[in-house]
Amino acid sequence: GAVVSQHPSRVICKSGTSVKIECRSLDFQATTMFWYRQFPKQSLMLMATSNEGSKATYEQGVEKDKFLINHASLTLSTLTVTSAHPEDSSFYICSARVLFEREAFFGQGTRLTVV
């Protein structure tokens, strides 16, 4: 299957700082990328869907000013957690899909800890 690379895999940051997470499709062009959040021992919840070159569509309850998503190219999407707080500590995982393809491929995930 196609490869999606997510970086960093782990990050610890201080409260109040911003953190950027990258999601890259390595061997295909991803027209759509999805960002999920997973709290410990819970399921994955979709945060937002981003299409290349357009604004991301956020799920209800997700603060778009806090979770900035940029999908500037067909191989890269970034999620920036702004002014991070301890409650933002979570596992963030992206997935990428090619237009009209059935399958979306997942990155390895990023474990964010805000101290």
Q: Find the shortest distance in angstroms from Cβ 60 to another protein.
A: 12
Residue 83 interacts with another protein (CB under 8 A): yes or no: no
State how beta strands 57-58 and 44-51 pair. Answer: antiparallel
Q: Which residues are CB-neighbours of 69 under 8 A, at least 6 positions away?
A: 35, 48, 50, 56, 58, 77, 78, 79, 80
User: Which position among 41, 54, 87, 115 is part of the footprint of another protein (CB under 8 A)?
Assistant: 41
The identity of residue 110, as a single letter, is: T
* 46 near another protein, judged by CB under 8 A: yes
Q: Give me the residues that bind another protein (CB under 8 A), please.
A: 1, 32, 34, 41-46, 49, 91, 93, 95, 97, 100, 102-109, 111
